[in-house]
Amino acid sequence: MSETSSPATGAEPPARRRVLLLAHTGRDEAREVARAFCKALTGHGLVVRLLGDEARDLDVTAEQFDPALEIIEDVTDAGVGCELALVIGGDGTILRAAEVTHSSGTPVLGVNLGHVGFLAEAEHDDVESTIEAIVQRRYTAEERLTLDVTVHRDGEIVFSTFALNEASVEKAARERMLEVVVEIDGRPLSRWGCDGVVCATPTGSTAYNFSAGGPVVWPGVEALLMVPISAHALFARPMVVAPTSVLAVELLATTEGAGVLWCDGRRAVDLPPGARIEVRRGRTPVRLVRLHEAPFTDRLVAKFGLPVEGWRGSIERRRRLAEGHDA
């Protein structure tokens, strides 16, 4: 007499896979793409989590989908329990997602609906292949160096935050230049009259740092960048320093201009004369999802539309030589 095994009583059902979806809901195209992702992912049995205000902007309810959407009102720990955060929009929306998921370490996958969209991994016409990659878990996550930023006044920390791209000290009024002293590793470097100073990560090297004339740094390089903005000084060059270095910018007490600190263009604090800003490598990296293994060089060429016509490369040269053509 054979025995038939039966499921153990009280056995836990397999946990549902969850994806946090964040979208630039001010754009019609983003709303359309976000609704398409909700339909497709729930159709594959994944739970989609939305912030309450975005669910209302998308005009969707939990019961429209099976499994039902998770709609939450508190962004705190919004990424907890989610295998990734799917972001529909441009780099600004991806930076918002990095802020939302920073404490949970949830990987961020960007679908670009913006202009350059340097942080995004997929374009809007890659929706089907992106869905397939998520469902089949055919993706990887790479850690990107971040910045921990603190503002000091009279020796007290009055503001602290993080940044994925950059922390920029800028003049608050167009007609007033800032007078600053910059410091690296506890030693003064130079005094500048300037419009500001950008402290950036390699990830942010193609953002504000790039516009300010700083170098493009491959994301695999661990380093911190400091770039003056319109400095009136003989020595005012972009600098690349060790990831263990601590950068500091002090607004001189005698400066006539007030400043403002912007982190990733999202979080700001006013800087009176005498304020001190310290920037160091962040304790918590941001994880960006990658669907492809394309080199960073290819990303630069594609995003900036760089001219590469005429390149033959070593493989092409070897092929032509084997066929008896001139190199």
**Catalytic site residues?**
91
Q: Enumerate helices (H) and strands (E) in the chain, giving the number of each.
A: 7, 20
CA distances 307 to 86, 159, 166, 217, Å, are: 31, 44, 28, 20
Name every residue whose Cβ is closer than 8 Å to that of residue 90 and which is 6 or more positions away in sequence. Answer: 24, 112, 113, 114, 115, 116, 117, 120
53: left (phi over 0), alpha (psi -120 to 50) or beta: alpha
DSSP classification of residue 155: T
44: Cβ contacts below 8 Å, ≥ 6 apart: 131, 135
Side chain identity, residue 274: G
Contact 93, 99 (CB under 8 A): no
